[in-house]
Copies of this chain bind each other. A is one copy, B any other.
Amino acid sequence: MIGFNEIRKLARVTPSKIVLLVIDGVGGLPHPETGRTELETAHSPNLDRVAREGICGMLHPVSQGITPGSAPGHMSLFGYDPVKYQFGRGIVEALGLDIEVGPGDVVARGNYCTVDDSGLISDRRAGRLATELNHELCDLLNEGVKVEDIEIALFPGKEHRFVIRLRGEGLSQEVADTDPQHEGMEPLPAQALDSTGRRTALVANSFIEQACELLKDSLPANMLLLRGFSQRPDYPSLRDIYRLTPACIATYPMYRGVSRVVGMDILPVGETLQDEIEALRRNYDSYDYFFVHYKKTDARGEDGDFDAKVKAVEELDAALPALLDLKPDVFIVTGDHSTPAGLAMHSWHPVPVVLSALYCRTDEVAEFSEQACLRGGLGQFHAPELMPLAMANALKLNKFGA
C-alpha cells in the first residue's frame, strides 16, 4: 500500500464531503437455525438501497485470523496500519474515560487489589469492589498523595479499575508493570525499562508507597497495581496526511479518544443515534470528513443476544434516511470488526463494506450483508486502503506520478 509520504503529495482540498458510518461490530455469523447472520436477518431496506447504488466488498481490519480491539479496528478504517500505529494499554483506558492526556503526560491502568499480612496479593481485583468505594478511594489518594513537581490524578472507572495520570517534566512511558498478573506474589516495584523511564519509576514508587499507607485500613482495597504505562501517541493527523478537516461524532469516550489522536474535532453530541445525525446536520458545512459511530450493534453482539443485535441494525436502518438526505459526496458504511452474537466477542471475520459515490463503479450486490458483499466489486481488501479509496471518490487525490 502507498505510504503517508506519498499520500501527502497527492491530497488536495475540495468542498466534497466524506461520511464514514461505522456500525460497530457489524459482521456476524449464521444463526444455527436459519443459516442467516444478524445482518442477513435484519430488515434493512435503506442499507440495502445503499448497497444497490454503491459498490461493496469485504474489509480485513488487520489480516486473516486476527481479531482487532476497538483501537486497531478504528485506526485501520482511518487509514493507519494498525500494527504500526498501536496504543498502549493505559492510553486506551484513559481514552475510554474521556480523560484529557497532554503530550508529556504518562497514564497507566490501575487496579485496587487486596494484599495479605505478608504483603502477597490475595485478590488482584479487591473483590471487584463497589464503584462508589472506588470513587471514594480515588478522592482519598488525589487528596493525600504528594510528589514534588508532579501532578498526580486518579480517575475512577468501574469496580476496581482506575486510571492514573502523571503530569510534569521529564516523564516517560518506559516503565514496567507493577502488576505481576498472578495472585500469591508481591506487587512489583515500578522499574524503568530504559534510562528515560527512571524519573517516572521513582515518581510511581513514591506514589505507591504513600498510597499503600493511605489504603492500609481500606480492606479489601488495601493496595493497588499499575500496568500499561503509556503516553499519548504522536501520530500524524488526518489533516497532515490527507489535508482533511475531520470531525468525530461518537457517543462513547473510547471512539472520541481514538479520533482525537488522529486529529479529529470532537463534536458535542447527545446519547442517541438521532442526536448523532442531528450533530452531523448541524456541522455539515464546517468539515469535509465525518466519522459517525454507532455502538449498539457491538454491545448487543458482546451480550450474545442475536435478536437484539438484529434490532440494533434495524434501528440504525430506520434512522438512515435523515443521514442520506444530506447527500454526502462519498458515503461509506462498514464496521471496525465483527462481533457475532454466537461468539459474544469481537472476532476475526472480515467486515462488509459499501461505498456510494458519483464516480464509484457499481456491482450486482443489492443487499448489505456478509454473503452479498463477498460478491462485491471492491473484493476483499485491507481496511487501511479504504481511506485512499474514499479520498479518490471524493476527487481529493491527484494523480500519482507523471
In the complex, the count of this chain's copies comes to: 2
Q: How far is the CA of A349 from the CA of B340 in the complex (A)?
A: 32
Point out the residues of chain B lying under 8 angstroms from A385, CB to CB: 63-65
Pick the residue among B63, B87, B381 that contacts A402 (CB under 8 A). B87
Q: Is A388 engaged at the interface, CB distance under 8 Å to the other chain?
A: yes
**Contacts A87-B402, A359-B343, A361-B30 given; does A392 touch B2 at CB 8 Å:** no
Q: How far is the CA of A63 from the CA of B400 in the complex (A)?
A: 11
Q: Is A189 engaged at the interface, CB distance under 8 Å to the other chain?
A: no
CB distance from A86 to the nearest CB of B (A): 6
B interface footprint on A360-402 (CB within 8 Å = 1, 0 otherwise):
0111100000110010011111000111111111000111111
Q: Is A172 engaged at the interface, CB distance under 8 Å to the other chain?
A: no
CB distance from A382 to the nearest CB of B (A): 8
Q: Is A263 engaged at the interface, CB distance under 8 Å to the other chain?
A: no
Q: Give the number of residues in A that approach B within 8 Å (Cβ atoms).
A: 64
Point out the residues of chain B lying under 8 angstroms from A29, CB to CB: 359, 361
Point out the residues of chain B lying under 8 angstroms from A65, CB to CB: 385, 387-393, 397
User: By the criterion CB–CB under 8 Å, are A63 and B2 in contact?
Assistant: yes
Nearest-neighbor residue (CB-CB) of A86 within chain B: B401
User: By the criterion CB–CB under 8 Å, are B342 and A66 in contact?
Assistant: no
CB distance from A275 to the nearest CB of B (A): 26
CB distance from A179 to the nearest CB of B (A): 15
Point out the residues of chain B lying under 8 angstroms from A71, CB to CB: 401-402
Pick the residue among B2, B87, B348 that contacts A62 (CB under 8 A). B2
Point out the residues of chain B lying under 8 angstroms from A393, CB to CB: 65
Among A2, A6, A86, chain B packs the most CB atoms within 10 A around the CB of A2
Interface residue ranges, A against B (CB under 8 Å): 1-3, 6, 10, 29-30, 35, 37, 58, 62-72, 82-83, 86-87, 89, 92-93, 340, 342-343, 345-349, 359, 361-364, 370-371, 374, 377-381, 385-393, 397-402
